[in-house]
Amino acid sequence: MTTQPNRRTAPAHLLEARAQARHVRVTPQKARRIVDLIRGKAATDAVTTLRFAPQSAAEPVRKVLESAIANARFHADRDSLAFDEGALRIEAAFVDEGPTMKRFRPRAQGRAGRILKRTSHITVVVVQPERKAAAKPAAKKTAPNTAKEGTR
């Protein structure tokens, strides 16, 4: 049984897009270190961070993020919505473990050593929050003080 999100409690997003890369040949532990750097940041700042990060896992994460930004642009054009790449922020970014390739290497005395080549599924979700129109501040009305002093 699936449940529908409550419209009143669900966050109001003008635009949401996701991208996923599956079977990426980087260990999930290493990819999670990179994803933790960008979670919650503005999308353009995160791309810059990933471009100059020295870790090798930064490249596939950056490509997934750029794909999510391109998906958001496509959805905005398709739905005739205003698109502002600077307003995009990373709502969710996570790394799941993919299938592990098992390889064997010869060891001493006829034994075999197992080598585990791990893979990752990298997912990035970007959102463009809905901008609320700036309302004019209402004039405050002050009520006269009707409380009598000294009575208990």
> In whole angstroms, what is the distance from residue 23 CA to residue 7 CA?
35
In a domain, 102, yes or no: yes
Count of the separate structural domains present in the chain: 1
In a domain, 74, yes or no: yes
Burial label for 142, CB within 10 Å (0-12, 13-18, 19+), is exposed
In a domain, 36, yes or no: yes
In a domain, 4, yes or no: no
What digits encode the pLDDT tens for the residues 17-42? 999 999 999 999 999 999 999 999 99
What digits encode the pLDDT tens for the residues 97-144? 999 999 999 999 999 999 999 999 999 999 998 765 555 555 556 666
In a domain, 24, yes or no: yes
In a domain, 37, yes or no: yes
| pLDDT of residue 8 exceeding 50 | no
Provide the pLDDT confidence category of residue 6 given band limits of 50, 70 and 90: very low
Q: Which domain holds residue 22?
A: 13-129
Residue 14 and residue 129 in contact, taking contact as beta carbons nearer than 8 Å: yes
Provide the pLDDT confidence category of residue 7 given band limits of 50, 70 and 90: very low
In a domain, 8, yes or no: no
What's the pLDDT score for residue 138?
A: 57
What's the pLDDT score for residue 135?
A: 52
pTM value is 0.77
In a domain, 89, yes or no: yes
CATH code of the domain in which 114 resides? 3.90.470.10
What digits encode the pLDDT tens for the residues 54-104? 999 999 999 999 999 999 999 999 998 888 999 999 999 999 999 999 999
